[in-house]
Amino acid sequence: MINFFLLFALILFVVGYWRLDDFRRVYWSKKYRDSALSDNDIAILYRYMPIYRSLSAEQRVRLNHHIVWFLGEKRVLGRNGLDVNRAMRLIIAADACLLGLNQDWPLYPNVSEILLYPSQYYVSESARDGAGLINYHTRIRQGESWPGGTLVLSWQDVLEGNRLPNDGHNLVIHEFAHQLDQQSGQTNGTPALPKRITYGRWGEVLSRAFGRLKTQLAYQMPCTFDAYAATNEAEFFAVASETFIEKPHQFYQSEPELYHLFVEYYQFDPLLWYR
């Protein structure tokens, strides 16, 4: 009899674990059912997020719904004396949720907090050389994405990324794209993919585009992607995600196969926003 109850409890646990997101979505639907962005929130998005103006009315409603959830579930903590206000949290949430526009909650399930610095910040690093000696140095950074679920952002660069919506640079999108990449368990340019996209196809298309970028840089040819994308496949995916949002025409013209793959993955087409 005891073994039967243990087996029954185990089955309940397994079913509950696999259906956890479904249970949480029901809870969140009730929790945020009567929550909405204020008129002042909407005015801030119109003013500081140019892409927001280009979305369809239906897409803005969906994005607003995601933002409400994001603000309720993720913490944004100021560093170096920065006092974080609602407008700052709102802009970060809007950029982050744009990537998950047509996804279901939870967005970025591993992310619990965002650390926000006033501007670029210093990070101490160490590296071992060929002789085995450890060298210590300091680097300046705009942002980081930690596999444990913490993001670090420079507020100055967050604002700059939204001020110029067509330059292919958006720090929030870049770092949250890394979080998508890390959901697969590794940081290698291959996020956890939906069933409609095979990992083989993703790897082939991404590798070809990555190789072409390195060739273009080697021969000093014009590039659609920022040169930083050639660092490795993980940075290529993050930079390509920025470019997908902010420079879709150039992306489509230079890498149509990869562009269509990104449309399948993100489930929206930014070309429609810029018509």
Q: Which pLDDT tens digit goes with each residue over 18-28?
A: 577 889 999 99
- Tens of pLDDT along 168-204? 999 999 999 999 999 988 899 999 999 999 999 999 9
Asked, for residue 74, whether it belongs to a domain, the answer is no
- CATH number (domain holding residue 246): 3.40.390.10
Query: Is beta strand 75-78 parallel, antiparallel or unpaired with respect to 134-141?
Result: unpaired
Whether the ω angle into residue 106 lies within 30 degrees of 0, i.e. cis, is yes
Asked, for residue 202, whether it belongs to a domain, the answer is yes
Which SS3 state, helix, strand or coil, does residue 126 take?
strand
Asked, for residue 7, whether it belongs to a domain, the answer is no
Tracing tokens 């604002």 back to the chain, one arrives at 159
DSSP one-letter code for 267: S
**Domain containing residue 255:** 184-275
Name the pLDDT band for 274 (thresholds 50, 70, 90).
Answer: confident
Average pLDDT over residues 23-43: 95
Asked, for residue 95, whether it belongs to a domain, the answer is no
Q: What's the pTM?
A: 0.90
- Tens of pLDDT along 139-170? 899 999 998 889 999 999 999 999 988 999 99
CA-wise closest residue to 218 among 230, 235, 206, 203 = 230
Asked, for residue 244, whether it belongs to a domain, the answer is yes
CA-wise closest residue to 91 among 28, 205, 151, 172 = 172
Name the pLDDT band for 15 (thresholds 50, 70, 90).
Answer: very low
Q: What value does the mean pLDDT of the chain take?
A: 92
Q: How many domains does the chain have?
A: 1
Radius of gyration over every alpha carbon of the chain, rounded to an integer in angstroms: 21
Asked, for residue 152, whether it belongs to a domain, the answer is no
Asked, for residue 11, whether it belongs to a domain, the answer is no
Average pLDDT over residues 89-93: 98
Asked, for residue 41, whether it belongs to a domain, the answer is no
